[in-house]
Amino acid sequence: MLLVADIGNTETVFGARDSGGGIVRRWRIRSDPRRTPDEVGVLVRQLLEALPGGAAACEALCVASVVPNFTDVLAEASERHLGLPLREFRWSGELGIRLDVDEPERVGPDRVANALGAHLAYPGPAIVVDFGTATTFDVVAEDGTFLGGAIAPGIQVAAASLFSHTALLPRIGFGVPETVIGRTTVENLQIGVFVGASLMVDGLVERIRAEWEPEARAVATGGLAARFASRCAKLDLIDADLTLKGIGWGHDRLYPSRA
């Protein structure tokens, strides 16, 4: 079994991939580089005990990371507590897709994984909307080429920013009022953050389709996809494991002799 991980700015998502390429279990931990390798190693090993065969069932660990400091911690943790060397998912010609952008070296590996995952799981032109710390829009051509996209503030980041930068506004939980004219401060905030975000997502997907490919399939993924994507009218489907699937397929192509 292959262990894959998407190391994001807020959380690291682990997934156990079976021989068919599906993600059969998943776990989340904080991407905190202040943790020691022993802390992280013990935690991950405990989580893996939920698998048949436990941690010993994992043959390799492949990660896509945008947090180098935590990657170093996880690499040492994996070697010490799982007996697995960390293999990094990165763009390479071996992936079989291109990065047709002006700054390919600055494209995050998570977005590359999204492009590869969308290309293999949903053939045809696609727009991947990833609901994470940031909300990213990845435009993927029919041949798998990453064409660019957009990056917007994540929903939770936007909500937290309002709370931390204003003296009188309260912290809010996830909620979408039925009306867009709020009668309480909390309703006003929920409408502005959550309804506003859904309109932003729909608007950008619609504009991308109009500018590029009207029939492009819009796929939602990321930590908030399951809770939020159903509020967006322009998204076609939800695949919360798309990034992890892309990392797994990338591992097979980057490390074929070890897959």
Residues that are catalytic: 110
How far lies 54's CA from each of 30, 40, 82, 144, in Å? Answer: 21, 16, 10, 35
d(CA 23, CA 53): 16
Considering only CA atoms, which of 198, 190, 247 is closest in space to residue 218?
Answer: 198
Pull the structure tokens for residue 83.
Answer: 């007996």
Ramachandran angles phi, psi of 38, nearest 5°? -65, -40
Whether 134 and 157 have beta carbons less than 8 Å apart is answered as yes
d(CA 42, CA 40): 6
Find all residues with CB under 8 Å of 41, minimum gap 6, and list them.
Answer: 76, 77, 78, 80, 81, 82
Q: Other C-beta atoms within 10 Å of 94: how many? A: 11
Q: Which helix (H) or strand (E) holds 157?
A: helix 155-165
d(CA 198, CA 152): 12
Pull the structure tokens for residue 96.
Answer: 């079989």
Q: Which residues pair with 50 in a beta bridge?
A: none
Whether 118 and 208 have beta carbons less than 8 Å apart is answered as no
Terminal Cα distance for the chain, rounded: 10
